[in-house]
Amino acid sequence: MVLGIVSLSNILFSFVLAGLSIPLSTVLSIIGLVLGFKANKERKTSQATAGLIMNGIGLGLSVLFTIAVIALIVAVFNGYFGSNSYGYRYLS
């Protein structure tokens, strides 16, 4: 459950750090899911289930943010945000 909390907090800090903590939260979420499945297999507790849920949410959000960052980078480099209505390009 701790890895899920750290993973979700890293996703929130990724807005401040411009996407630098997204790979860290992805790795922490995967490790937390593996440990959560092991703990849930041994003994079904509410903490193991909460850890699985939080790590699943963290992994899903980190994947979505990774796709969004990649799409934004591609859009910026292809010049989608660099032209106005007169055809002049700002970024070229």
Burial class (CB in 10 A: 0-12, 13-18, 19+), 67: exposed
- pLDDT at position 87: 56
Tell me the domain boundaries of the chain.
2-77
Residue 15 pLDDT greater than 70, yes or no? no
Most confidently modeled range among 25-29, 77-81, 88-92: 25-29
d(CA 43, CA 13): 33
Which residues does residue 83 pair with via DSSP β-bridges, in sequence order? 89
Give the chain's mean pLDDT: 76
Angle at the Cα of 82 (from 79 to 83), degrees rounded to 5? 110
pLDDT tens-digit map of 21-38 = 777 778 888 888 898 888
- pLDDT at position 71: 85
Dihedral over Cα of 53, 57, 62, 67: its sign? positive
